[in-house]
Amino acid sequence: MSSVSTYRRHIDSIYLEICIGGLSYQTEPHTLLTYFEQFGTISQYNFTSPTGGGYVFICYENSQSVDRCIANRPHRLDGRHLYVKRALPFDPEYPNEHMNSIRDIMIICDSLDIDEEYLKNLREYFSSYGVVYACKLCHETNYDYILVEFADYDQVDRIILDKPHHFNNQELNLMKCIATNKKLMNIKYSSKENSVIAKDAIDINDDQKFLKYELNYKNDLAEKSNHHISEIDLANEVYRLQNLIKKLNEDFSIKRRQLEENCCEQLRKLNEDADKTHRLQQHLEQEYTKLLVEHESLKHENEVLNEQYLMTELENFEMTSYYEQILAEEKAKTTQYETEYTQILQCLYDNDSPQPSSPHHHLMSTSQTSLSPPLPAIPDDDDDD
Q: Is the pLDDT of residue 11 over 70?
A: no
What are the φ/ψ torsions at residue 25 (nearest 5 degrees)? -65, -25
Fold of the CATH domain 97-201: Alpha-Beta Plaits (3.30.70)
Domains 13-86 and 97-201 share a fold: yes
User: pTM of the prediction?
Assistant: 0.49
Tell me the CA end-to-end span of the chain in Å, nearest whole number.
Answer: 119
| Average pLDDT value for the chain | 80
Q: Which residues pair with 149 in a beta bridge?
A: 104, 134
The pLDDT assigned to 372 comes to 44
3-state SS, residue 335: helix
Domain 13-86, CATH 3.40.50.620 — does that match? no
Where do the structural domains in the chain lie, given as residue ranges? Answer: 13-86, 97-201
- 27-75 residue pLDDT tens: 888 899 999 999 999 998 887 654 555 688 999 999 999 999 999 999 9
Sign of CA dihedral 63, 69, 73, 74: negative
Pairing of strands 144-150, 17-21: unpaired
pLDDT in tens, 328-373: 999 999 999 999 999 998 898 888 765 554 444 444 444 444 444 4
Length, in residues, of the chain: 385
Distance of CA 212 to the CA centre of its chain: 41
Cα–Cα dist 63/84, whole Å: 15
